[in-house]
Amino acid sequence: MPKSVEKDFVFNFSSRGLSSRLTVPVTIPLRSSAAEFEVKDFASVEKKDAEHAFPKVYHTLIHSPALETLLNLEHIYALSMENLTQQRDRDLRRLEEKHQLEMEEALQHVGENFKDDDINVLAQRHFDNMQMVEAKWAKELSELREEQKREYHDWVHRVYEDTQTASTPPYVNRMRNVTTALPAAEDEERQVQLSRLEESFTIHLGAQMKTTHNLRLLCTHVMDLCRHKPHTVGGIVVPQPQRLQTAMSLYSNSLCGLILLVDNRLNSYTGIKREFAAVCEQSTDFHFPDLAQQLSAVETALTQASTVRASRQQQQQQETDSSSVHSSGSNSSGSSENQDKSMGARLHTGDFYLTKHSNLSEVHVVFHLVVDENVRTGDITSRHPAILSIRNIIRLCFRYDIQTLTIPLLLTHEMTEEMTIPWCLKRAELLFKCVKGFMIEMATYSSLVSRTIQFLVPRGMSEEMFAQISNMLPGIFRLSNPLVVKST
């Protein structure tokens, strides 16, 4: 078989009246006079353009007087969604209670009216019931979601067309009236809920050329950054201000990212993943597919990843094999191949997958970083896969304009007994230093944009420890010149 090279020849002829773009993957046998060309047309350009129009339309509207209307609409949709999910939760809880009662009663009368088999049948029936009701709700929810989404898209397009033609669209005044009609806020509503411990720093990075960045040390639960808190004015639920911020920057060049630590199973059944899924479900995401769909896309990409990983491992194996004078023989290669196949698209420690959201409180992009138990208990070094992955995530942030990134400083979302003060300090130091190094590295060739890194520590950390960690920060990062005000 002749050795050949392949590469896409891509032309864009939009300038010369020929509007089509062409990609020509060329296969050319090397050093041979005859060349073969495979040709493929890029046909689906048109369809994609329509799909890509929505971000632009939305971005224009959200930066126009239609902003309020848009947000209110989203808010109303969110409320009805929340309503429905609450109903579902109530319904399921009731069903569960009912089942429990039945089961208890049945168990009390085992041997009298019921045999063991009957118990099994009852359990099976309960399970089926539960599934049916869940499925029913899921269907209802997804229908509502789809409907909202469709309506919303239509509405956005329509309003956009209106703004392009009419000078002062009528809805502006209408919605203005609605907002001004809100009652005055009550005193308790004016109180800011201070559940967070927070400290901010401005730092300089770089030896000669300095870039300014912001660091924030934050003590709160990770879901608080995602969940919309109920926000009322005079008893009426109104959208949170954060929502505005998130919506306005969604298609901009300043995104917000969050690293969420997960286990190596790609689902949303347990622990923090379940909580996160629940938060996502609270309202409809009008811009991105829902979480389940995004996860299935991740799964497809993971198979790709696993082939790359396998081939790389093989290469490494070969390299070590050839260097170690073939001591192990051939049986090892066979078993490893089997292993690779069985592993399929599994997640490993240090892998991450990414989901995008428009309906979370302070976050657009969530990096789900896979960690194992070791991270929580043992000591790790800067070569640990999770740290390497944080580097890749930061690189991604620099590349794709994610200006704010939240990193769990201790690489865990919970405070536990084993986490002693020295352990916490050591972990914090490691993360601080690594992140500093990564940021310096990434800033080398990129522009001088300043970024914000939020270091998140779990809720339940003592104020004393928080202070200790915050004191550590100026020793590791160079704070920008303090402005000293002199009295004379």
Answer yes or no whether residue 481 interacts with another protein by CB under 8 A: yes
The single-letter code of the amino acid at 165 is: T
DSSP class of residue 186?
P
Residue of 389, 412, 454, 470 that binds another protein (CB under 8 A): 389
Task: Report the site for another protein in 55-84 (rule: CB under 8 A).
Answer: 55, 59
End-to-end CA separation in angstroms for the chain: 85
Residue of 30, 43, 50, 184 that binds another protein (CB under 8 A): 30
Residues 241-280: b if buried by 16+ CB within 10 A, e if exposed = ebbeebbebbbeeebbbbbbbbbeebebeeebbebbbebb
Residue of 19, 37, 100, 107 that binds another protein (CB under 8 A): 37
Task: Report the site for another protein in 107-166 (rule: CB under 8 A).
Answer: none
Q: Which span (117-125, 131-139, 156-164, 345-353) binds another protein, by CB under 8 A?
A: 345-353
Q: How far is CA 234 from the centre of its chain?
A: 33
What is the helix (H) or strand (E) element at residue 367, kind and residue range?
strand 365-370
Residue of 310, 354, 425, 472 that binds another protein (CB under 8 A): 354
Q: How far is the CB of 474 from another protein (least distance, A)?
A: 10
Structure tokens belonging to residue 143: 């229908």
Interatomic CA distance for residues 86 and 83, integer angstroms: 5
Closer residue to another protein (CB): 1 or 5: 5
The single-letter code of the amino acid at 306 is: S
Answer yes or no whether residue 301 interacts with another protein by CB under 8 A: yes
Answer yes or no whether residue 19 interacts with another protein by CB under 8 A: no
Grouping H, G, I as helix, E, B as strand and the rest as coil, residue 50 is helix
Answer yes or no whether residue 427 interacts with another protein by CB under 8 A: no
Residue of 90, 93, 274, 348 that binds another protein (CB under 8 A): 348
Helix axes 67-108, 170-180, angle to 10 degrees: 60
Answer yes or no whether residue 314 interacts with another protein by CB under 8 A: no
Q: Which span (111-119, 302-310, 321-329, 458-466) binds another protein, by CB under 8 A?
A: 302-310
CB 30 within 8 A of CB 3: yes
CB 404 within 8 A of CB 451: yes
Q: Which span (30-38, 70-78, 117-125, 221-229) binds another protein, by CB under 8 A?
A: 30-38
Answer yes or no whether residue 483 interacts with another protein by CB under 8 A: no
Closer residue to another protein (CB): 161 or 441: 441
Task: Report the site for another protein in 362-381 (rule: CB under 8 A).
Answer: 364-365
Residue of 50, 184, 192, 484 that binds another protein (CB under 8 A): 484
DSSP class of residue 486?
P
Residue of 388, 415, 425, 472 that binds another protein (CB under 8 A): 388
Answer yes or no whether residue 445 interacts with another protein by CB under 8 A: yes
The count of other CB atoms within 10 Å of the CB of residue 200 is 12
Interatomic CA distance for residues 250 and 25, integer angstroms: 35
Residue of 50, 166, 209, 325 that binds another protein (CB under 8 A): 209
Interatomic CA distance for residues 285 and 228, integer angstroms: 13
Q: Which of 446, 482, 448 is nearest to 211 (CA)?
A: 448
Interatomic CA distance for residues 385 and 195, integer angstroms: 33
Residue of 85, 385, 415, 425 that binds another protein (CB under 8 A): 385
Q: How far is the CB of 463 from another protein (least distance, A)?
A: 26
